[in-house]
Amino acid sequence: MNIGQASKASGISSKMIRYYEQIGLIRPALRTASSYRVYSDNDIHTLRFVRRARDLGFSVDQIKDLLTLWRDRSRTSADVKAVALEHIAELERKIAAIQEMAETLKHLASHCHGDDRPECPIIEEIAGSADGKKLGIRAPFGVAAL
């Protein structure tokens, strides 16, 4: 099948399929005489694996590790579990950081009058942070700071 069909079958856009090939996450597709990419059922299975791993929030590097383990029939489940546990810890750190940001904003919002006055602790805290004062929060991995 061509890249458009592979995209539909796997749920990964054609652009991302090309990118994954470029960075070596997936093997380059076979090419026709006219240089069109051709994907096999096995390629689609691999792309679906990648899509599911991305849906679970694994990084490209982690997916590379998982693909290596998936293809290695002599792997141990302990190796796979280690990758998953590392990812869980990372997700939990992100969750904690997002919760911390939400608590900070809830606190600031509860002290904002929300009326016609210009004074607002939310803006003051953010402006103070922009001037070098610390908000007391940290942005989680992949989440932009306030």
* Per-residue pLDDT tens listing for the chain (146 residues): 999 999 999 999 999 999 999 999 999 999 999 999 999 999 999 999 999 999 999 999 999 999 999 999 999 999 999 999 999 999 999 999 999 999 999 999 999 999 999 989 999 999 986 665 555 555 544 454 43
Rounded Cα distance, 38 and 129, in Å = 53
pLDDT of residue 134: 56
CB of 121 closer than 8 Å to CB of 108: yes
Burial (CB < 10 A; 0-12, 13-18, 19+), residue 77, is exposed
pLDDT of residue 102: 96
Rounded Cα distance, 49 and 47, in Å = 5
Q: Which amino acid is at 41?
A: D
pLDDT of residue 128: 86
Angle between the N-to-C axes of helices 60-71 and 77-110, in degrees from 0 to 180, rounded to the nearest 10:
160
Name the helix (H) or strand (E) containing 37: strand 37-38
Rounded Cα distance, 95 and 28, in Å = 36
pLDDT of residue 133: 56
The whole model's pTM is what? 0.76
Rounded Cα distance, 91 and 87, in Å = 6
pLDDT of residue 18: 97
Task: Enumerate the CATH 1.10.1660.10 domain ranges in the chain, comma separated.
Answer: 3-57
pLDDT of residue 82: 97
What's the CATH fold of domain 3-57?
Answer: Multidrug-efflux Transporter Regulator; Chain: A; Domain 2 (1.10.1660)
